[in-house]
Chains A and B, each alone.
Chain A
Amino acid sequence: AQSVSQHNHHVILSEAASLELGCNYSYGGTVNLFWYVQYPGQHLQLLLKYFSGDPLVKGIKGFEAEFIKSKFSFNLRKPSVQWSDTAEYFCAVNLGGSQGNLIFGKGTKLSVKP
């Protein structure tokens, strides 16, 4: 079965540190890729998405992600994190062209120390 792996369960950083959260998926065909964020007490929000074209996608709040097809990866990055980035981050995959469900990773909790 297709799956999504997020390598880090909990990441703790100080403000201004750089962030990279790993995401790998297991599916050999076309995929659409997403990162969602869930701030404490809030609902899931779309951070960024990849459907096609430039593999480096930019999202809200200074986040970006790079799709590397050969590595089946879609890592999330931010050059300098802020305390307000404290949240849980979920990588998700939709099998290409599919109207169906997203397959989610188990999430990475990010704690940013002020």
Chain B
Amino acid sequence: GAGVSQSPSNKVTEKGKDVELRCDPISGHTALYWYRQSLGQGLEFLIYFQGNSAPDKSGLPSDRFSAERTGGSVSTLTIQRTQQEDSAVYLCASSLLGGGGRVAKNIQYFGAGTRLSVL
């Protein structure tokens, strides 16, 4: 696609429910990143994928958070047993890194985000 696509754009859920957030990166981008944007916290890194593997999961706040990427493309961020403090905008970014064997600069392009509200 032309840009990073995220769905849904808005998600309202009840405390304790599981949610899945989807990211479709720019075609051909090998790296994919998840961030969280919340009031007072700015943008926090969650997890990064290179291809289908996740070299860095250090930003995931708890074991309720997980993510996967399949086929080197679409990624899903799953939050289990949601809590009110999980309410935030979840942003996905992608970057062309080493695609096709080339060395490329880490320039990240962002999607519009998913606004998650946990009631």
Contacts and interface: CB of A to CB of B under 8 A. Distances in A.
Contacts of A98: 106
B104 to A, nearest CB: 10
B48 A101 contact: yes
Interface residues of B, number: 26
A102 interface: yes
A49 B45 contact: no
Interface in B65-119: 91, 93, 95, 97-98, 105-113
Contacts of A107: 42-43
A16 to B, nearest CB: 30
Contacts of A100: 48, 55-56, 106
Give chain B's interface secondary structure class: strand
Contact residues on A (Cβ < 8 Å of other chain), bracket? 20 to 34
B105 A103 contact: no
Contacts of B109: 46
Contacts of A94: 106
Contacts of A99: 31, 48, 50, 55, 95, 97-98, 106
Interface of B: 31, 33, 35, 41-43, 45, 48, 50, 55-56, 59, 91, 93, 95, 97-98, 105-113
Interface of A: 32, 34, 36, 42-46, 49, 51, 90, 92, 94, 98-107
